[in-house]
Amino acid sequence: MCGIAGIYNFGGRKEEHSGSSIRRMTDAMSHRGPDASGFYEDPEIALGHRRLSIIDLSPAGNQPYTSGNGRYKMVFNGELYNFQSVRALITDHRFKSTGDTEVLMEGWVLWGIGVVEKLKGMFSFAVWDTQEKELVICRDRLGVKPLYYYQDEHQFVFASELRSVVAGAGIRPKLSTNALMSFLTYQSVAGNQSIFEGIKELEAGHFMKVRNGQVEIKKYWDITSNPGLYQGEGLPEVKHKIRGLLRTAVEQRLVSDVPVGAFLSGGIDSSAVVGLMAEVSASRPETFNVCFEEEEFDESRYAEIVAKKFNTNHHRILLKPEAMLENLIPALNAMDTPSADGINSYVVSKAIREAGITVALSGIGGDELFAGYPFFGQYKSVRKFKNIWPAMYPFRKLAAALLAGESTKKQRLRQLCQIGNCSVEELYPLFRQILPPSRISRLMGHPFVGDVIEQKLSALPALGKFPDYSQISIADYLGYTQYTLLKDTDQMSMAVSLEVREPFFDHELISYVLQVPDELKTPVYPKKLLVESLGDLLPHEVVHRKKQGFVFPWAQWMRKELKDFCTERINSISERSFMDAGALQQEWAKFLKGDPSVRWAEIWIFIILEQWLQNNECE
C-alpha cells in the first residue's frame, strides 16, 4: 500500500522546479508510505512514490518502476491479490522481484490497459510511455483506492490524496458550493468532484489517457454489466457458490510478507471474515475490538464469543471519553477530504497499528451486499405500489401537506410523497441523506443544486433489470459505499500506515450475488443468505443479536465532554459566508436542549466541516 503522485507538464519544465514540486507532493502524504520514497523525472513528467512495504520487502519492490524493455515508468498504489496467477501468464519476461508491482508493469507491456481485466485487487496506478509521451492513470473497479487530479493549460497533476494535488499544482484552492451541498447531504463529497473547484476524482472502474494536453476518459468496468454469472441455481447451489467465493476472497487477502490482523466488532460480517480467516490460515488470527464503558454501545462480549470459537489472539481496546478527546484532533487532522463518519476507523486503525500489525482484514461491505440495512425492506415495500404510484399523486400531495414539522423524518416523508415515481434513483437518496435539501438550503441560504447520486443512477439503463434488493446494493456501491465508507477506510487507515483489505468488496463475489433473486436473499433474520451460506461457522449468539453497528456515543459526548470543542466550531462556521448563522445557531441550541428533531449527526457534520476548513486554511 502506498501513495502515488505525478506532474505532466505540457510544455516541458525546468528540472529543478519539477523536483521540488514532486517532493512536496510525496511529503504531503508521507504517512501512506513510511518505508521508502522514490522519484522519476524527465523534461515532461515527474513521478513520485511513497512505499508501505507489504509484499516483497526488499528494495526490488521500490518505485517508480521501470519495465524490462525500458519503455514504461510506473507508480502503483494497492495490492493485486491474484498477482501470482497473472505472473504465470507472462512467460517472456525474467522476473527480478517476488511482488505484484513487477507483475503489473510487465502485464502492461504485454496487454496494455487490457491488464486490468485480469486483475483482482485494489489499485490506482499511473504509467508513463517514454516513447509516445502519453500518461495513463487508472483506478480499481469499486473505488477502494483513491486517485485525484487537476488540469490547466500548462499541466496535469495527479495523486492519491487531495492535499498532495494541491501541493503539486501550485494553486490556492477554492471551495466548491456544489461540493459543500453534496457533503451536507451525504456526509462526504459524491461524484467525480472534490471539495475544491477544479480538482476531480477519477471515478471507479475508469482510466484516463493524457497526451499533449488532450484528455480521454473511458470506463473499463460497470457494476451492472456482468451477465451470466448466476445461472438460475437453486438455494443449495447458491449458498455453496457464495461460501466458496467469500472463502477465496479471504484467502487471497491473506497474501502478505508481514503479519495480518482483523477488525472484529462482534457483528455478522466481521465474524464471518475472522471465521474464514481461521479456516484458511496456517497461523492464529490476531483480532481487535473497540469496546466502551457505556453498555448500550459496547459489543465486546460478542467479539469475545467469536474470538474464543476461532481461537484468535484477541485484543480489547477500551475507549473512554478522555481517550476520544486525545484521538479526536489527530483523527480530524488526518482527514484528506472532509467526512463525518471516519473517526471510528481512525481510532481502531491506530490501535491495530500500534500493536505491530501492518495489514488488517475488515468486514465492511457485507450489509451492502446482503441487504443488511432497514432501507432494503423499505424499498421493497414502496416498490409494491410502483404500478399505481402516479395515480396516487392526489393522495400523496395531501399527505405531504399534512406532514407539518421540521424534523428530518417528517421532511423525508414529505419528499417521499412528492417524488415522481418509486424508482431506485429517486428513493435511494432519501435513505442515505443526512440533511434533506430543504434544510440545507435554509442553513446555507442558497438554492439546492441537483443531486449527484440521483444523476449517476439515472445514467444506468440496466439498473432496472436487477432484482429490487440488488438495485439498492448497486445504488449503495455507487453512493455511500464508494464516497464515504471506502474513502474513510482508506484515508483513516493510511493516516497511521495501516493497510486495510475488504473481502466483501471482491468484484467476483459482488457480481454473482447481485444477480441472485430476491426470494433467495430476503432477510427473514439479518443477512440470512450470507449466514446460511456459511453453514455453522457463526455462533448463534452473533447471528440473532440486535444489530448495533460500530457507533461511538457522540450525542452524549457532544453535550458533555465535547461541548466546548463543538461550540467553538459551530460559532466559527456560523460566521462563514456560505452559512446562515442564525439558522445554524438555532439548530445547535435545540440539540443541546435535547430536542429530538435535531439529531447529533446533523450537527456533527458542521463541526467536522469547520475543523477541516481550519486545517486546510480555507477562507
Residue ranges of the chain with pLDDT lower than 50? Answer: 14-16
pLDDT at 14: 47
Closest alpha carbon to 24 in 188, 168, 196, 206: 168
Asked if residue 130 lies in contact with residue 167, where contact means CB atoms within 8 angstroms, the answer is: no
Can you tell me the distance from the alpha carbon of 572 to that of 614, in angstroms, rounded to the nearest whole number? 10
Beta bridge partners of 5: 48, 159
Can you tell me the distance from the alpha carbon of 580 to that of 446, in angstroms, rounded to the nearest whole number? 9
pLDDT at 15: 46
Closest alpha carbon to 480 in 515, 431, 420, 550: 431
pLDDT tens-digit series, residues 69-79:
999 999 999 99
Exactly one of 2, 138, 291, 417 is catalytic; name it. Answer: 2
pLDDT tens-digit series, residues 58-107:
777 789 999 999 999 999 999 999 999 999 999 999 999 999 999 999 99
Asked if residue 43 lies in contact with residue 15, where contact means CB atoms within 8 angstroms, the answer is: yes
DSSP state of 453: H
Q: Is 2 a catalytic residue?
A: yes
Can you tell me the distance from the alpha carbon of 137 to that of 149, in angstroms, rounded to the nearest whole number? 10
CA 332 to chain centre: 17
pLDDT at 13: 55
Give Cα separations from 285 to 288, 536, 617 (angstroms).
10, 19, 43
Can you tell me the distance from the alpha carbon of 592 to that of 571, in angstroms, rounded to the nearest whole number? 14
Query: 3-class DSSP state for residue 315?
Result: strand
Can you tell me the distance from the alpha carbon of 609 to that of 504, in angstroms, rounded to the nearest whole number? 30
Exposure string of 136-161, with b = 16+ CB inside 10 Å and e = fewer, is bbbbbbbbbbbbbbbbeeebbbbbbb
Phi, psi of 43 (to 5 degrees): -60, -25
Asked if residue 60 lies in contact with residue 97, where contact means CB atoms within 8 angstroms, the answer is: yes
pLDDT at 534: 96
Let me know how long the chain is: 619
Can you tell me the distance from the alpha carbon of 487 to that of 40, in angstroms, rounded to the nearest whole number? 28
pLDDT at 227: 66
DSSP state of 108: H
Tell me the torsion sign for CA atoms 178, 183, 186, 189.
Answer: positive
Asked if residue 349 lies in contact with residue 500, where contact means CB atoms within 8 angstroms, the answer is: yes
- Residue 12 region, left (φ>0) first, then alpha (ψ -120 to 50), else beta? left
Closest alpha carbon to 51 in 124, 97, 123, 2: 2
